[in-house]
């Protein structure tokens, strides 16, 4: 079964929410799906997993893998990995990420890897999220907003993916409000028209986005899950 890298047009567009929701839905269909967040940055939670992203991903996928496998690198400042490494004088070891990635891939039928920030977020000075995707050699899903401004961000993201010869699976349009303005209502069709990429899902705002049982219903209704499995 194929594994996927999930990136987004920016930070906060819904990479974690969508990855977790897809993981929960695959698990409900009886697929042993693993999750990985190779690098997380931010303020560590006081209890449990340091990263709230990792917590939601693990709960949704129902996995018990060690935190240092799922999230080998946690950086304790909300900044790009390169910035954190400069500020705290740390070295980011890509080898540990590759090792844990290979191990997780062997344990599970398929793996969903959540990126960090957007496609050109620097991990080191000259190694970006694009390079991480190339290293992992995964097909990539791009999560994008549906609100005004998304066309510009999405097209730039896709063009950069093309430059790096990243294999794109398609787009997931998040936060969709069918009662939204004209830009929003048109966003999925226009994004498809311009990028020629499949729209894998159009996901609305969900108040209970942290509840896997809620999100599995949303995914089954609003996403082409079969296209990820085949």
Ligand X SMILES: Nc1ncnc2c1ncn2[C@@H]1O[C@H](COP(=O)(O)OP(=O)(O)O)[C@@H](O)[C@H]1O
Active site residues per annotation: 37
Give the span between the Cα atoms of 49 and 136, in whole angstroms: 24
Give the span between the Cα atoms of 156 and 137, in whole angstroms: 21
User: 62, exposed or middle or buried, with CB in 10 Å at 0-12, 13-18, 19+?
Assistant: middle
CB 144 within 8 A of CB 10: no
Binding mask 137-176 for ligand X (x = CB under 6 A): -------------------------------------xx-
Considering only 10, 53, 59, 184, the residue that binds Mg ion (CB under 5 A) is 53
Considering only 5, 9, 10, 15, the residue that binds Mg ion (CB under 5 A) is 15
* Interaction of residue 203 with ligand X, rule CB under 6 A: yes
**Residue ranges in 16-75 that form contacts with ligand X under rule CB under 6 A:** 16-17
Considering only 5, 14, 100, 169, the residue that binds ligand X (CB under 6 A) is 14
H helices within the chain, ranges in order? 15-28, 52-61, 67-70, 81-87, 94-107, 129-136, 150-163, 182-195, 212-222, 226-229
Location of structure tokens 């787009």 = 171
β-sheet bridge partners, residue 201: 172, 223
How does strand 139-145 pair with strand 168-176?
A: parallel
**Residue 65's binding partner out of ligand X, Mg ion, none, with CB under 5 to 8 Å set by partner kind:** none
Task: Considering only the stretches 6-14, 22-30, 160-168, 183-191, report the one whose residues sit in contact with ligand X under the rule CB under 6 A.
Answer: 6-14
CA angle at 15 for the pair 13 and 17, rounded to the nearest 5° = 95
What is the distance, to the nearest Å, from the Cα of residue 22 to the centroid of all Cα atoms in its chain?
A: 10
Considering only 66, 205, 220, 229, the residue that binds ligand X (CB under 6 A) is 205
Query: In terms of CB distance, is 15 or 55 closer to Mg ion?
Result: 15
* Interaction of residue 15 with ligand X, rule CB under 6 A: yes
Task: Considering only the stretches 43-51, 92-100, 134-142, 198-206, report the one whose residues sit in contact with ligand X under the rule CB under 6 A.
Answer: 198-206
β-sheet bridge partners, residue 143: 8, 172
* Interaction of residue 11 with ligand X, rule CB under 6 A: yes
Task: Residue 61: name the closest of 225, 212, 200 by CA.
Answer: 212
The H or E element that residue 37 is part of is: none
* Interaction of residue 188 with ligand X, rule CB under 6 A: no
* Interaction of residue 110 with ligand X, rule CB under 6 A: no
Considering only 26, 101, 209, 225, the residue that binds ligand X (CB under 6 A) is 209
Residues that bind Mg ion (CB under 5 A): 15-16, 53
Residues that bind ligand X (CB under 6 A): 8, 11-17, 174-175, 203, 205-206, 209
């Amino acid at each position: 079964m194929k594994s996927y890298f999930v990136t987004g047009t920016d930070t906060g567009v819904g990479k974690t929410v969508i990855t977790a929701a897809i993981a929960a839905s695959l698990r409900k269909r009886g697929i042993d799906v693993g999750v990985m967040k190779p690098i997380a940055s931010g303020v560590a939670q006081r209890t449990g997993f340091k990263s709230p992203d990792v917590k939601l991903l693990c709960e949704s996928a129902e996995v018990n893998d060690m935190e240092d496998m799922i999230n080998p690198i946690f950086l304790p400042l909300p900044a790009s990995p390169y910035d954190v490494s400069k500020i705290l004088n740390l070295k980011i070891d890509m080898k540990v990420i590759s090792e844990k990635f290979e191990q997780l891939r062997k344990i599970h039928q398929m793996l969903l890897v959540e990126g960090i920030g957007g496609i050109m977020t620097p991990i080191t000075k000259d190694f970006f999220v694009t390079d991480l995707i190339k290293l992992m050699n995964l097909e990539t899903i791009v999560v994008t907003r549906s609100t005004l401004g998304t066309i510009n961000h999405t097209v730039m993201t896709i063009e950069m993916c093309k430059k790096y010869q990243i294999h794109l699976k398609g787009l997931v349009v998040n936060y969709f409000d069918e009662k939204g303005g004209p830009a929003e209502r048109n966003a999925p069709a226009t994004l498809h028209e311009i990028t020629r990429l499949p729209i894998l899902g159009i996901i609305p705002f969900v108040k209970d986005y942290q509840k896997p049982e809620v999100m599995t219903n949303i995914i089954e209704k609003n996403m082409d899950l079969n296209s990820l499995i085949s």
